[in-house]
Every structure is written in C-alpha cells, then in structure tokens.
Structure 1
Amino acid sequence: MTEKQPVIIELNMKKIARLNFWLTIGFIVFFTIIYKLIYGQTNFSLLAMLAMAVLYIIFIVLHEVFHLVGFMIFGGAKFKELDYGINLKLGIAYATTIKPMTNSAMKKALLLPFWTTGILPTVAGLYIGSFTLVITGALLIAGAVGDFAMYKELRPFPNDALVKDDPELPKLYVYETRV
C-alpha cells in the first residue's frame, strides 16, 4: 500500500465571513417572516435581545461541544484526543482532535452542530412560540457556514480517506491510500 501526500483544504476566512454576514441577515428576515405568519407578531423587546445574546454565547459553546461529541461518536476519538477554545486572531471558536478519522466520520462531525444548535432550536422556537429561540437558532444556522464549506471540500474524496484536522487553523489534511 502506498500513501500519497495529503491534499490540504484551507478555508478562505474572509469569504466565509462575508457569506456568514449575508446568510445571517437572510435567515433573520426569513425566520422573522415565518414567525409573523404563524403568530402575527414577533414579541421582540430589550429583554428578548439580552436573552438572545446570552443564548447565542451558550449555543456557540454548545456548537463546538457538539463537534467534539461528533469526533468521539463518529470518529472514535478519545476525550484526551480533543481540544477546544477560541482563536482570537481569527475571531473564531474551534473544536479539534488529534485523531485522524475517515472522511465519512469527519463530515458527520462537521454537520452535527448545525442540526443540534441551529435547526433544533429554530424548530423548537417555532413550535413553542419563542421568537428569541427562533432567531438564536437562525444565527447558529448561518454560523455553520464554515462547517458546510469544509463539508463541501470533503465531498469529492472517498468515504474511507483519512482526514486530519489542523490543531490551529481552519485547515484539513486529506490522505488517500491506494492498493
């Protein structure tokens, strides 16, 4: 079996930030319209804004925690192989693992937070009539744009290719093996 040099996937953070900005506006407008169609009003207030800010911070932390959970569940990473934090230079929160995992496992771990901190709170907020929860979920849906960008870059590779996460940068190393 011969091993090729890794393919390096590196995200353009300026492009991701611009897309995140426009998606955030779009999702806020879209879900505000949906909420108003269902409930007739948005019950928006200063207290709702404060609650939204607090929930947003909590959900960002949970977003990264769910990446870690995904690394363990889908990729078999052990707790000691995980790391998380905030990269102040890039202005992003991150979760990473030193354990290489299959492309299939990495793609699942990348999208788990989208469902748990974006879609689930938005749907729950629409169901229970919480505009604060709907908009916070919408912010996290838009915030998953970097995860979707990495997912998109991983799609051309076979599911059994090994993917190594860079511990400091939004960068992945993909190793394909040939028999």
Structure 2
Amino acid sequence: MRVSEEPVKVIDLDLQKVARQGLWLTVVVTAGLLLADAVIRLLLRQEYMFSVTVWKVLGVVGGYFVLIVVHELFHLVGFRLFAHVPWRKMIVGVNLKLGIAYATTDEWMTNKAIRKALLLPFWTTGVIPALAGLCLSDGALLTLGGLLIGGAAGDFAMYQELRHCPDEWLVKDDPERPRLYLHERVE
C-alpha cells in the first residue's frame, strides 16, 4: 500500500477547548439523565428518592476510573474489529503531562474504520450504563453514564473532523498527542 508522502490534512485537538466541551456535556447529560429518571418514576407512579451516600460517591469515583480504562480498551477493540489492526501493534496508556488516557497504534487505518473505532467506547461505556441506570433507576449508573458520555468529547471532536473527509483516506495516529494525519492512497 502506497500513501501520499505529506498528509492531506492534520487534525490536532485543542485540549483546553475539548475539556470545556466535555465538562459542559457531562453536566448537561448527567442532569438530563437524572431528570429523565425522575420523570419516568413519576409517570410510572413509583416512589422516587434521591440520596447521596459516601459509598455511592466512592462507587461512582471507582467506577469512573475503571470505565476510563475500559473506554480506551474499547478503542483497541474498534481498531481490531474495524481496521483489522493486530493486537501486538496497539498501545494503551496514560499521558500524565497532558492529563489524558489514550489508545493508539502505528498502523494505517481507513477514515471509515477509525470513525467507528472512535465512537465504540461512547456506546459501550457511556450509553449502556446510562440506559441501565434508567432501567434500574440507579443514580450511580446514570452519573457514570453521564461522565463517560462527556468524557467522549475528544472522540466526538475527532469524529466531527473526520466525517468531512473521504472514507478511503488513510489515517495515522500520533503516538504522543491527540492528533491524526490523513493521507491519500497513491495507486
């Protein structure tokens, strides 16, 4: 496979902007989920009780850190499922200097494949806990869902940039920064 020597486009996220968007998204989604749960219980004429305990807070904090790791692991699953990247070519870690967890590979992926891999953790670690929280009327799960949906702000930002590019363009992930390099195939 041959690709253009120079990238056609470089997507470089502004981490401060993404952090602000993520915080805003987290607050709005979490409040919306808690409100939706209250309305559902009211419509079903079920008792609704909101309570916060130390154990619930510790559960949410612990669950959040676990789900951040799972979020990144689902990026790797997406790389494997959608881009057929070998497991040995994938890396997951934390960049303490930037304050971010990451999943990366040095393999080429198509734009179409990486877009799917970017959104997979949103569904698995954000939407599923939120839906489970609504079904069980569990504030901790609702809060975790909101936190992880908001935590996908960087993935949404990358996805938004990628969706305007052709599916067949090839993408190379930067191993140190939230940056993608897009190249065209050369026949």
Give TM-score scaled by structure 2 length.
0.91
CA offsets, 1:12-52, max 9 Å, x none?
00100111111111112111111222232333322111110
Aligned twin of 2:87: 79
CA distance in 2, matches of 1:48, 1:24: 18
Aligned to 2:39: 37
Partner residue, 1:124? 132
8 A Cα contact 2:73 2:103, kept in partner: yes
The answer as to whether partners of 2:3 and 2:184 remain within 8 angstroms in 1 is: no
Letter in 2 for 1:31: L
Structure 1's unaligned 5+ residue stretches are: none
Structure 1 residue 129: Cα displacement: 2.0
List aligned pairs for 1:14-33, cutoff 5 A: 14-33=16-35
What is the SS of the residue equivalent to 1:9? strand
Q: Is the 8 A contact 1:4 1:177 kept in 2?
A: no
Please tell me whether the aligned partners of residues 166 and 172 of structure 1 are also in contact (alpha carbons under 8 angstroms).
yes
Q: Write the letter of the residue equivalent to 1:35.
A: D
Aligned residue number for residue 157 of structure 2:
149
Aligned length: 179
Q: Where do residues 25-174 of structure 1 align in structure 2 (5 Å cutoff)?
A: 25-39=27-41, 40-174=48-182
Letter in 1 for 2:37: Y
The one-letter amino acid of 1:126's match is L
Identity %: 46
Tell me the equivalent position of 1:3: 4
Shift >3 Å, 4+ stretches: none
Matches of 2:176 and 2:186, distance apart in 1: 29
The CA distance in 1 between the partners of 2:63 and 2:163, in whole Å, is 32
Residues 57-80 of structure 1 show CA distances to partners (whole Å, capped at 9, x for unaligned) of 110000000000000110000111
TM-score by length of 1: 0.95
Q: Secondary structure at the match of 1:172?
A: strand
